[in-house]
Structures are given as structure tokens and as C-alpha cells.
Amino acid sequence: MTNNNYLDGIRKQFEYYKMLGDRTFAQLTDEQLFWQYNSNSNSIAMIVKHLSGNMHSRWTNFLTSDGEKSWRNRDAEFENDITTRQALLDTWNKGWNCLFSALEVLTFTDLGKIVYIRNQAHTVAEAINRQLAHYPYHVGQIVFIGKMLADDKWVTLSIPKGKSEQYNTEKFSKPKEKGHFTDEFL
């Protein structure tokens, strides 16, 4: 195992979840991106705004400042005020770009360093894992809302229903190999 396997794997995991969001957005109309089930629920645009706000807060000056920045207005992230697909995509991409820029400069020796989120100490590895649990939680919400809204036009982002046996047969017909599960999706 090389020292960068963890960081390479983490980057691929984050890229995979970004891809799930990207492919969901592509299947929806502009109107569907802003749809809310009710006033207590979040639209896809609101979830995107929250993810981007979190990413900017957590990953800006990641090694040197608390992950909850004083300039973050978390409550405003849940206002449904993004009004265009392009604004949604810009917000989405800016958040991910901030995350990927921060990951790009990390090294294996950084993983044991201490960083803080709301004054709670985390090793860098723990802070990364925390976000790797948080972001897929919300991307899953985006995909679920997208799947409901697209209805019978939805194109699956994983193994289609009823195709597991075929998928597994194909996988097991090949020799064992080293790779990341996301390699076939990205």
C-alpha cells in the first residue's frame, strides 16, 4: 500500500458522489431542480446550496482554521433562492472545486494532524471521513428526489433492477484485479 492510497481513494469517492449529482441534474427539468414537497422539505437547489456552503466552510484554509467559518450563514443555505439551472450548477461546482483544491495539497503525513470543526478536534483523516459521510447523505437525497420527479424517465445510476445477476456474472467472469470501484463510473 502506498502512502497516497487513502487520499487517492478518498478523492475518487468524492468524485463519484459529485458524478451522481451531476447525472441527476441532467435528467431533470429546470423546474424540478427547485421543487419542494412542502415548506418543511428541501428542494434539490437548497441541498446544493447547503452542500456548497458546507464545503466552502470546511475546506477553505482546511489545515489552519476551524471548519465552521464565522462568515458562513448556514441558515441561509436552506432558503430556496437559487433561481436558474446555471446558478445551481455554478454553486455546486464551486463547492466541489473548493474541496478538490484542498485535497490536492494534502499528503499522507497530514492525515494525523489536528484540525477543528466547531472547536472539536479531529485528525485530518477523521475530518475527511466526517465529510465523506455527510456529503453522500445529501447526494442520496438529491438522487431520491430526482428519481421521484423523473418517474418512468429515470435512467438508473447504478445496477438496474433485475440486472444484478447479469452484472455479477460479468464481474466474476473476469480475473481479479486491483482497482477502485468508481473506475467504471467516472
Sequence-ordered list of residues with C-beta below 8 angstroms from that of 146, at least 6 positions apart, any chain: 24, 25, 27, 28, 32, 44, 154
- pLDDT confidence of 167, banded at 50, 70, 90? confident
Q: Which of 165, 171, 23 is nearest to 179 (CA)?
A: 171
Residue 1 is predicted with a pLDDT of 43
Residue 185 is predicted with a pLDDT of 73
- pLDDT confidence of 3, banded at 50, 70, 90? low
Domains and CATH numbers, the chain: 5-184 (1.20.120.450)
How far apart are alpha carbons 160 and 183 in whole angstroms? 18
Amino acid at 57: S
Greater pLDDT, 177 or 64? 64
Minimum mean pLDDT range among 57-66, 76-85, 106-115, 163-172: 163-172
Asked if residue 126 has pLDDT above 80, the reply is yes
How far apart are alpha carbons 3 and 45 in whole angstroms? 37
- Determine whether 99 is exposed, middle or buried from the number of CB atoms within 10 Å of its CB (0-12, 13-18, 19+): buried
DSSP H helices in 61-123: 85-104
User: What is the average pLDDT score of the chain?
Assistant: 94
How far apart are alpha carbons 8 and 27 in whole angstroms? 29
Residue 2 is predicted with a pLDDT of 53
59-85: average pLDDT: 96
